[in-house]
Amino acid sequence: MINTTLCYIRRGGEYLMLHRVKKENDLNKDKWIGIGGKFLDKESPEDCLLREVAEETGLTLTDYRYRGIVTFVSDRWPTEYMHLFTADSFTGEVKECDEGVLEWLPQDQLLKIPHWEGDAIFLELIWREAPFFSLKVCYEGNTLVGAVLNGTPISLQNMERKFES
């Protein structure tokens, strides 16, 4: 089991997204994701968040919020506890990233670009300003086969209809 952070950095109506196209054997290959990475020994979620954002983007977060924890279960990858954050304030300039291409994208584009299906669930929670949450998403390959929010299973059929509209 691994621990990671993921942060959605907002600037007005846009989010800084990372298109993962530079690393081989990347479980996120060709997908667009927020900014983050794996914990180092002795790091807290906040320590990891600040380090990863600085390393990947060149930015220093000055205002951020811990939004929830997402448990990823996969038939191909180790189980992952992803500590989810959002940030609205930062200093510095975006630099080139060795893991992919960084781009500011409008919020209404985030569910139209290649992403993990389960990302739609937690992005919607973020956009609704939901209180701190625990989300479990289960994948077979790249297909979302189950999701549980705060202990309650989510109907994937209803979710697809909701996010298509």
pLDDT at residue 126, rounded to an integer: 96
With 0.75 as the threshold, say if the pTM is over it.
yes
Residue 59's alpha-carbon distances to 78, 96, 105, in angstroms, are 29, 11, 17
Residue 55 neighbours by CB distance under 10 Å: 14
Q: Per residue in 106-153, pLDDT tens?
A: 999 999 998 999 999 999 999 999 999 999 999 999 899 999 999 999
Residue 7's alpha-carbon distances to 1, 38, 122, 153, 160, in angstroms, are 20, 12, 12, 25, 24
Mean pLDDT in residue range 69-96: 96
Beta strand residue intervals within 21-79, DSSP E: 32-33, 35-38, 60-74
Q: Per residue in 15-69, pLDDT tens?
A: 999 998 676 776 777 789 999 999 999 999 999 999 999 999 999 999 999 999 9
